[in-house]
Structure 1
C-alpha cells in the first residue's frame, strides 16, 4: 500500500499549475499560497467567499468528529471504501478527491483499508475549520480549503471524486475526472435519521424523487446501493452532537431543538444511498 497526497493543484486566481515551494505553493504568475502549521493550504480567494467564514463552523466540525469516531457511520465508510477500491484494475493507482471532505473521516477510512492499492488523496472543503481539523489528524493526504464550484485541480487529473452528503457540481466534477473516472455521490435515503426528524419537525417532507437521468458528461453505473442499519445513541451528548453536525440544527424550530435536547437516549436509522456514475 502506498498513500500519498495529490500534488497536482492549480492556482485559484488564474488556473495555472501550482508548484510546491519550501513554504507553500506558487504559480508562474507569482501568486503564492502558504502551507499552514497543520499542513493544509488555503486556495479559496477572499473574493470567492460568500461569507466571512463559509462552511461548517468549528463547533459543527468538533461534534461531527466525536460522532464519527464513535463508529455510528462506520458502515457507510466501509461501503464507500469498497466502491472506490473496486474501481479500475487491482494494480491501477487512483487519484481520489473528496469534494466536501469535512474533517477527513472518509478519506482516512479509505487509506486505512487500501491494502496493496496505490492511492493519491486530496480532501477539499470550504470550511477552514474542517480542513484544519483534517490536516491535524493525518498528513498522508493533501488538504485544501477550496470550493466545489471552482476546484483547484487540473482538467482530467482524477480517477475518483467523492461527494459525501455535499454540494455536487457536476460540470466541475466532469472537468477534473479522467474519461472513465468514477463519481460517487452519497446521499441521505428516505429514512435516514427519521427518528430524530420525527422529533424535531412537526411534519416530515416527502422524500425527494430519485434522479432519472445522469448529469451531462456522465453515465449511471449499476443502480443505487443502499446502506441501512440501526444504531443506538446512549447519552444526551451523542444526540446533541448528531443534531449539531447536521443542517437540521438550523432547520428545526426552537421547540424541536428543545425536544431533542431533552432526550437521553435515541435509536436511529442510518439509511444512505450510494450512486456511482462514470465519466464519459
Structure 2
C-alpha cells in the first residue's frame, strides 16, 4: 500500500483547521498556503523566521544526503526502524511524524521497513523541518512522504494525530511533541553519546568533551515516562576524503572548530569513525 497523504493540518496563523482545495490548503479565515511543485507545504510564517532562509542550507542538505547514502549510518537507521516496529506490532494503521527530518534518510528507512513487513499497513508519514531544502530533499527521496516546512515550536498538525514522533539529532519541544501524539503513543529521541565521532573531534578541537546524551527531564511528567533506552555504538566503514568533507559540512563541527582544527580536518581520509548514540523512548501512559 502506498504512503497516505495528510488529511488534516492547522493554520500556523490562527490554529484553525486547514482543508485542501486543489493545490492550496485553506482555513476558514481564508488564509491560503500553496502546495509547492515539489509537493510540500510551507507553513512557516514570515514573522517566525529568523533569517530569509532558515535552517540547514542547500549545500548542507546535499552533503548530508551524499554522506548518508554511503551507508555509513545504516546501522543507526535500521536500529531506529526496529525500535518503531517494536512499538507498533499488530497495527493496521499508523501515523509517523519526523520532527526535524533533515533530508529524509531515517524516516524513509523506517517507512520502507514497516511496509516490507506489512504491505497492507495504512501508513501516513510526515517529514517536518524548518529548512525548505531539507523538506524538498525528503520529497525527492520518497514522494509518498508528506513534507511540511515548519518549526518544532509550532507543529501545524492537530492534537492527538500521531502515533510515533521521531526526533533524530534534533531540537525537541516536548510540549508540542506531546500535544500532537495520540494517547498511548511514543516519542523516539536519538541523541549523541560521549564517544560520538570521537576520532573527528580529537582532530578538530584542542579540548574534547565527553558529554552524556541530553537530558529528557523536560519531557517527563505524570503522563509521559521514559519506557526504554538503547545504547548503540559501531564503527563506520573507512571514510574517504570526500565523505569526511560531506560529514563536516553537514554537522556543526565545521563551524565550531578553530581555523587550525578545520585545516587538520581537511586532511582526514582513510579513517573509520565511532558512532555512539542513545535511542530513548518516551511513552504516553494510558
**Aligned 8 A contact 1:239 1:266 in 2:** no
Partners of 2:211 and 2:107 in 1: CA distance: 29
**Aligned 8 A contact 2:213 2:278 in 1:** no
- CA deviations on 1:179-220 (whole Å, 9 max, x unpaired) are 111000000111110000000000112313663745334111
**Aligned 8 A contact 2:193 2:213 in 1:** no
From 106, 129, 133, the equivalent of 2:137 is: 133
Q: 1:212 to 1:186 in 2, by over 3 A?
A: closer
Query: TM (normalized to structure 1)?
Result: 0.95
Partners of 2:90 and 2:122 in 1: CA distance: 9
**Comparing 194-203 with 126-135, which one deviates more in the overlay?**
126-135
Name the structure 1 match of 2:276.
271
RMSD: 1.5
Residue 140 of structure 1 deviates from its aligned partner by 0.8
Name the structure 2 match of 1:158.
162
From 210, 220, 224, the equivalent of 2:226 is: 220
Q: Specify every segment of 5 or more residues in structure 2 that has no aligned partner in the other structure, as ranges.
A: none
- CA deviations on 1:121-180 (whole Å, 9 max, x unpaired) are 110000011111111232111101000000001011111100010000000011111111
Partners of 2:147 and 2:214 in 1: CA distance: 32
**Comparing 233-242 with 60-69, which one deviates more in the overlay?**
233-242
**Aligned 8 A contact 2:94 2:124 in 1:** yes
* Pairing of 1:182-193 with structure 2 (within 5 A): 182-193=186-197
**Aligned 8 A contact 1:239 1:265 in 2:** no
3-state SS of paired residue (2:133): helix
**Aligned 8 A contact 1:63 1:244 in 2:** yes
Q: 1:212 to 1:141 in 2, by over 3 A?
A: closer
Residue 7 of structure 1 deviates from its aligned partner by 2.6
Name the structure 2 match of 1:232.
237
3-state SS of paired residue (1:240): helix
Query: TM (normalized to structure 2)?
Result: 0.93
**Aligned 8 A contact 2:195 2:210 in 1:** no
Name the structure 1 match of 2:37.
37
